[in-house]
């Protein structure tokens, strides 16, 4: 006896990328604070805003996923960016303490500086500068 076509079920295994945390069944996206964008777990591409439009891209130039702090989000649709403000509030980019103070004082960061600061804060110590 065969199962009717409408009763058949398809299971898709989604493996997390090596740089991301394990994902519960049914998870579709990571939010990546460092990008202010997303990663589609099923289709394996990034979703980023460029020139005011959300685009799906396979690679991100200038970033290494090993520095990402992805967060599994509970969103099932096709436009996770509709919750961007909420995700930015819940999962802010980690900055070194001195830069947090700079932002809190209203001085802000020059264009591109947050990325440089983040990379510098994760570099190994012992480069001969400052106190150890």
Condensed to tens digits (0 to 9), the pLDDT of residues 4-21 reads 555 565 444 457 888 898
DSSP 17-47: PTTS----TT--EEEETTTTEEEETTTTEEE
Condensed to tens digits (0 to 9), the pLDDT of residues 46-93 reads 999 999 999 999 998 888 888 888 999 999 999 999 999 999 988 888
Query: pTM for the full model?
Result: 0.61
Place of tokens 């439009």: 53
């Amino acid at each position: 006896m065969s199962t009717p076509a409408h009763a058949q079920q398809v299971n898709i295994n989604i493996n997390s990328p090596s740089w991301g945390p394990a994902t519960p069944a049914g998870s579709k996206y990571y939010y990546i604070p460092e990008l202010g964008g997303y990663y589609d777990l099923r289709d394996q591409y990034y979703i980023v805003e460029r020139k005011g439009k959300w685009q799906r891209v396979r690679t991100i130039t200038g970033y290494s996923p090993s520095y990402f702090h992805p967060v599994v989000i509970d969103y099932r649709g096709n436009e996770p960016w509709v919750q961007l403000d909420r995700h930015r509030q819940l999962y802010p980019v980690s900055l070194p303490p001195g830069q947090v103070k700079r932002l809190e004082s209203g001085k802000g960061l020059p264009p591109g500086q947050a990325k440089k600061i983040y990379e510098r804060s994760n570099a190994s110590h012992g480069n001969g500068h400052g106190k150890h």
